[in-house]
Amino acid sequence: MRIVDLRSDTITRPTPAMRRAMAEARVGDDVLGEDPTVKQLEEMAAERLGKEAALFVASGTMGNLVSLLVHCHRGDEFILGDQSHTFFYEQGGSAGLGGIHPRTVPNQPDGTLALHNIEAAIRPDDIHFPRTRLIALENTHTRCDGSPLDVKYMRAVGEIARRYEVKVHVDGARLFNAAIALGMEARDLVAEADSVSFCLSKGLGAPVGSVVCGTRDFITEARRVRKMLGGGMRQVGILAAGGIVALTEMLDRLAGDHANARKLAEGLADIDGLSIDPERVKTNIVYLKVTRSDTVSELLSEKLSSEGVRLLPTGPNQLRAVTNYHVTSDDIDYALGVFRRVLSSI
Ligand code: TLP
């Protein structure tokens, strides 16, 4: 059966070039700082993001957690969006493992936090209050239609952070999608950030891993925290080698994912019983609402998957599709056909 897997870009399997690079990677004990392939990936990543140093970590979740644990101590507070991945999907790790108090501010539909809300959430120096240490942004914003946060906004948040002497962390799981959608270099987008975590294992197709970037001092601390979390891995150049191919060969193709997402959204907007605004689709994530009834929504999701078109249910009557490098423009036509057929038969 033909499969069009749109559940996430995390489902991507390594390319033949990645598998070759991984099989042939030069490796050493990375906890002892002796893995040349990991070092190469970390240098490449730091250079790309215009930061002094970088650290290879097991996942996006670990990248965010390590960063939070370096920036904040127990009882400190950090400001983040109420729709952010860190708040929603990372098991409350900041509080659970770090004793760090999350202070949510509403995400606006475009993924930003209103600047006045950020400012209002920063605590004055008062014995009653936790200390605000950090503002955490997400770019692109997964739960806000994969919206890219533009450079003007990123700079404005940086300016507030400097004024109040707090740090900025960017969960850039899909940072390169943002950069490509905005037509700019990723490094310019995160110039104001003290730390950035980006994923190799999403649209870039590597099987495992994320990279955290920041100052040399920040990364030295982050390396300690990664070890504390059990994330010090040994001959991990085997994984980093896939990441090097991801960074070298897989960036430009993200534009194709964005075009496919827009095409999917435009096609879905023409189908009765679905609600979607294609203008909101700027990167590779598409959210759609099923407007007919709860039963139709459940049936739709079941029937789509029984016909090989896989989406992720993300809420009542809501489904998410994420384009990725296994999905071609032709697959989008096929998926749209399945949508039309299934909906007209319910
Ligand atoms: N997101 C996954 C799911 O967890 C929802 C997905 O399929 O989109 N930050 C952001 C913005 C993310 O979207 C994700 C993964 C992460 C961090 C965590 O990355 P991993 O899965 O590597 O821990």
How would you classify the pairing of strands 318-322 and 285-290? antiparallel
pLDDT value, residue 295: 75
How would you classify the pairing of strands 167-172 and 195-199? parallel
pLDDT value, residue 179: 98
pLDDT value, residue 132: 98
Q: Judging by beta carbons within 10 Å of its beta carbon (0-12, 13-18, 19+), is residue 13 exposed, middle or buried?
A: exposed
pLDDT in tens, 9-39: 999 999 999 999 999 999 999 999 999 999 9
Inter-residue contact 320 to 286 (CB < 8 Å): yes
Asked if residue 296 has pLDDT above 90, the reply is: no
Nearest CA to ligand 1 atom 16: 60
pLDDT value, residue 208: 98
pLDDT value, residue 331: 98
Domains of the chain, each with CATH number or no CATH: 13-249 (3.40.640.10), 253-345 (3.90.1150.10)
Q: Which of 85, 137, 283 to mutate to test the pocket of ligand 1 (most atoms within 8 A of CB)?
A: 85
pTM of the model: 0.97
Atom of ligand 1 nearest to the CA of 10: 7
Residue 250 Cβ < 6 Å to ligand 1? no
Average pLDDT over residues 279-307: 91
Average pLDDT over residues 264-269: 98
CA-nearest of 180, 229, 173, 223 to 201 is 173
pLDDT in tens, 219-248: 999 999 999 999 999 999 999 999 999 999
Q: What is the DSSP string of 124-190?
A: PS-TTSPPEEEEEEESSBTTTTTBPPPHHHHHHHHHHHHHHT-EEEEEETTHHHHHHHHTS-HHHHT
Asked if residue 294 has pLDDT above 80, the reply is: no
pLDDT value, residue 140: 98
pLDDT in tens, 66-114: 999 999 999 999 999 999 999 999 999 999 999 999 999 999 999 999 9
Report the separation in Å between the CA atom of 60 and the middle of ligand 1, taken as the mean of its atom positions: 6
Residue 76 Cβ < 6 Å to ligand 1? no
Atom of ligand 1 nearest to the CA of 138: 11
Residue 9 Cβ < 6 Å to ligand 1? no
Q: pLDDT over 70 for what percent of the chain?
A: 100
pLDDT value, residue 8: 98
Report the separation in Å between the CA atom of 203 and the middle of ligand 1, taken as the mean of its atom positions: 11
Q: pLDDT over 90 for what percent of the chain?
A: 95
What is the SS3 assignment for 325? coil
pLDDT in tens, 299-315: 898 899 999 999 999 88
Residue 58 Cβ < 6 Å to ligand 1? no
- Residue 307 contacts by C-beta under 8 Å, 6 or more apart in sequence? 1, 338, 341, 342
Residue 173 Cβ < 6 Å to ligand 1? yes
